[in-house]
Structure 1
Amino acid sequence: MEKLSCVIVEDEKPAARRLARLLVDNSLDCKTQLHDVKSAVSWFQHNPAPDLIFLDIQLSDGLSFEIFEEVAISCPIIFTTAYDEYALRAFKLNSIDYLLKPIDKEELSFAIRKFRQQKLSNKIDLNKLQDFLNNQVNSRAYKERFSVVVGRNLKSITTDEIALFYSSNKASYVLHAEGRSYVVDYSLDQLEAYLNPKEFFRISRKFIVKHSAIKQIISYSNSRLKVELFTAFDELLIVSRERVKDFKVWLG
């Protein structure tokens, strides 16, 4: 079987490494793993296009279609995305393949066999791609309420009432704007996907803060930042150093 080249563009490094391992079993040679729009643009500007690209839609510094605004790429793409099946069906009309994350081995093998059979060479319609991605991002449904247990009862808390999500002692909690904390049945990793990124930002492994709940931001040691909320909270809320730059962008 002919060994074809590919490039992975994926901002979640563990997911990129897992995909690279799976591609070895499908006789694909992964030339590189790129993790954001900026590095992808630079790589494609200075290297020949691979036979195939595996591309996540939402990257850490923007949407992946921005790559094609900077460089002309005509090789086929398989999207690796968390978007729902309705979105996937829409793109399949344009003969682009998709894999829902976490990627299933059999679905990956099927997509690669289809790619080998078709030997796609048609250039991506950037206008259609950009319009669709913008619509998906603008219409994406984020969770607006969470159920928590209060005694023997269930209580519904809307995101308007939330100041903070945090982890402690292997559990996740939501801090109500009035100051009380409740256990939630989601990890912070799951919550990141469920929350509107315009309203919430994960400042560290332990904390996800809400924009409107921030009272002030203070310089802290080692180029970090300390966040103070309008709601009283006992723990220090420190923006980890590697997230400071993105946090500042998020603040606007």
Structure 2
Amino acid sequence: MNIIIIEDEKPAARLLQRKVELLGLKVITMLHSVEESIHWFSNNQHPDLIFLDIQLSDGLSFEIFEKVKINSAIIFTTAYDEYALRAFKLNSIDYLLKPIDEEELKIAVDKFQVQFSKKESLSLNFEQIRSMFAPTEKVYKSRFTVKIGTQIKIINVSEIECFFSENKGTYIHTFDNRNYLLDTTLEILEEELEHRSWFRVSRKFIVPLTAVKEIVVYSNSRLKIILPTYKEEDVIVSREKVSDFKNWMA
């Protein structure tokens, strides 16, 4: 029995892989975007089961099925609310609510194995499902997962004082004065964060409105932002961004 995981947050994908393999199942690959998934399914034998995140970095995962016919069984992984989850039940679709509970994972896998042993198949109306989850406005990140040793930590955006880049790495700095390495870039984060609440002040920093403690005039028509705990270097608003930053603050 072959399994793949489609999940845009790589630490979350690796954590799910470990949990699945503890149940004696084999994960043959992990995919992280709509584009990557379409390419993989177009060039490889399809698995028996897919763990499928709904919201990927480059769109809804349902877009995969518009390009490639896939007959694999699916267990959705989702962070959507209970109202949306009722739609899953009405369509007889298995789902796991993030963060994924190990006991619920086992129950979902057991249910799939029963269907698999009986050679049962589930016909899914992906257009109908898409309509249930198509956002009326863009869905922004509400939390991030980071790896600390062998542990996975969830950090809500309300805990984040800023994002910064250093030595080709991207980091979260939290209000409790801790840094965490992220497997992403500031360019991607800039698109994932709600623009009314977050602003990329320079090529090195993205800050939230809630963390702007003080603003002072800096040299060459620039501005310096004082954050509550981040003191490693000056957080400077680039000269070309000053006007947009002032409008954002207004």
Checking the alignment, whether the CA contact within 8 Å between 1:79 and 1:97 is kept in structure 2 is yes
Q: In structure 1, what residue type is equivalent to 2:95?
A: Y
Secondary structure, aligned partner of 1:87: helix
Checking the alignment, whether the CA contact within 8 Å between 1:9 and 1:34 is kept in structure 2 is yes
Secondary structure, aligned partner of 2:134: helix
Offset at residue 123 of structure 1 (A): 3.1
Q: Give the CA RMSD over aligned residues.
A: 3.8
Corresponding residue for residue 133 of structure 1: 133
Secondary structure, aligned partner of 1:88: helix
For structure 2, list consecutive stretches of 5 or more residues without a partner in the other structure: 143-159, 165-171, 183-188, 210-221, 226-233, 239-250
Q: 1:172 and 2:175 equivalent?
A: yes
Checking the alignment, whether the CA contact within 8 Å between 1:80 and 1:99 is kept in structure 2 is yes
Checking the alignment, whether the CA contact within 8 Å between 1:76 and 1:123 is kept in structure 2 is no
Offset at residue 199 of structure 1 (A): 4.4
Q: In structure 2, what residue type is equivalent to 1:50?
A: P
Offset at residue 140 of structure 1 (A): 6.8
In structure 2, do the counterparts of structure 1 residues 12 and 139 end up closer, same or farther at CA, with 3 Å as the change threshold?
A: closer
Offset at residue 84 of structure 1 (A): 1.4
Q: Normalising by structure 2, what TM-score?
A: 0.60
Secondary structure, aligned partner of 2:45: coil
- Deviation string, structure 1 residues 183-228 (Cα, Å, up to 9, x no partner): 9xxx9x9xx8xx9646466868963468xxxxxxxxxxxxxxxxxx
How many residue pairs match? The answer is 180
Corresponding residue for residue 123 of structure 2: 123
Secondary structure, aligned partner of 2:175: strand
Offset at residue 167 of structure 1 (A): 6.2
Checking the alignment, whether the CA contact within 8 Å between 1:207 and 1:237 is kept in structure 2 is no
Q: 1:67 and 2:70 equivalent?
A: no
Corresponding residue for residue 48 of structure 1: 45
Q: 1:94 and 2:91 equivalent?
A: yes
- Deviation string, structure 1 residues 31-73 (Cα, Å, up to 9, x no partner): 1000111111111111111111001111111111111111011
Secondary structure, aligned partner of 1:53: strand
In structure 2, do the counterparts of structure 1 residues 92 and 140 end up closer, same or farther at CA, with 3 Å as the change threshold?
A: farther
Q: Normalising by structure 1, what TM-score?
A: 0.59
For structure 1, list consecutive stretches of 5 or more residues without a partner in the other structure: 144-163, 174-182, 211-229, 239-252
Offset at residue 166 of structure 1 (A): 1.9
Checking the alignment, whether the CA contact within 8 Å between 2:4 and 2:47 is kept in structure 1 is yes
Secondary structure, aligned partner of 1:77: strand
Tell me the distance in 2 between the aligned counterparts of 1:141 and 1:209. 14
Tell me the distance in 2 between the aligned counterparts of 1:38 and 1:76. 20
Corresponding residue for residue 216 of structure 1: none
Corresponding residue for residue 207 of structure 1: 206
Offset at residue 165 of structure 1 (A): 5.1
Q: 1:26 and 2:29 equivalent?
A: no
Tell me the distance in 1 between the aligned counterparts of 2:207 and 2:131. 30
